[in-house]
Amino acid sequence: MSKVALVTGASSGIGAATVKRLRADGFEVYAGARRQERMAPLAEAGARLLSLDLTDEASIAAAMAEIEAKSGRLDVLVNNAGYGAYGALEDVPPAEARRQCEVNLFGLARLIQLALPMMRKQGSGRIINVTSIGGKIHEPFGSWYHATKFAVEGLSDCLRMEVAPFGIDVIVIEPGAIRTEWAGIAHESLLRTSGDTAYGPWARRHARMLSEATSSKFPSLPEVVANTIARAASATSPQTRYATGGGARTVLFLRRVLPDRMFDRLMWRFSQGGKGAS
């Protein structure tokens, strides 16, 4: 019997690559996203498509009910959906901050809540939460994004201990720079939110850095992360965390060894294209 997996945020990038990789590994895969029309290639690869909006409780419940009705089990939940809405904390509208938390944190947690009864009944399961090196480091203009990723790191650690007695593993994937739509969304939201405010001169330079980083050779392809997720999904004794992709291990090492203010200066200079703080 094939193992069953659900991958969220499957319409593009890491999610789409993960669906394809898990299908190649023999999983029965449910691909969940809001934009179902963009998942047609995944259906052709044998994935089952789910309409899934992580800001909508009814959508989340319906998706999980469909998996239980059609497959009767869930072996691997890959919580990949998420986005980065950037802007100075002072400028970000409360509604956008809440939406960021709904998608990146609360929707993820609700999916886990609904998956756990199936996994407990089976006596096994893998919950794979895709955070980011942004769950360990910080940068200007990303306060709400980083807050959600730090939160998922902590949630995952607590959950890992709670569900271990039921034979369920919780694994965190920490991508570095990856060639996806993420940087473009962050770039546009940063300019829209803070490009013409008191933070404008620095926000515009940071946005330019995001744009230039996407077109450089530094980011890894989404398949690099997908391969790491697949390894975590099938390993006999998976690690609790996997840092993967463009610069992930190097940046996390620097965060561990540098004092806070030295790391602040490093990230500020990077965000400003090498310019010091004014």
Which residues are annotated as catalytic?
Answer: 145
Q: For helices 222-234 and 13-24, give the axis angle rounded to 10 degrees.
A: 50
Q: Token pair for residue 108? A: 């993820």
Report residue 2 as tokens. 């094939």
26: left (phi over 0), alpha (psi -120 to 50) or beta: left
CA distances from residue 226 to 127, 137, 149, 210, 231 in whole angstroms, order as listed: 15, 22, 19, 22, 9
State in Å, rounded, how far the first CA of the chain is from the last one: 61
Q: Is the dihedral of CA 69, 74, 80, 82 positive or negative?
A: positive
215 vs 256: CA distance, rounded Å: 28
272: left (phi over 0), alpha (psi -120 to 50) or beta: alpha
Enter the tokens of residue 156.
């995952």
Beta bridge partners of 168: 125
- Long-range contacts, stretch 265-268, CB < 8 angstroms, 24+ apart: 267/137, 267/138, 267/139, 267/140, 268/140
Tell me the angle at which helices 107-122 and 57-71 cross, rounded to the nearest 10 degrees.
20
Distance CA 85, CA 75 (A): 31
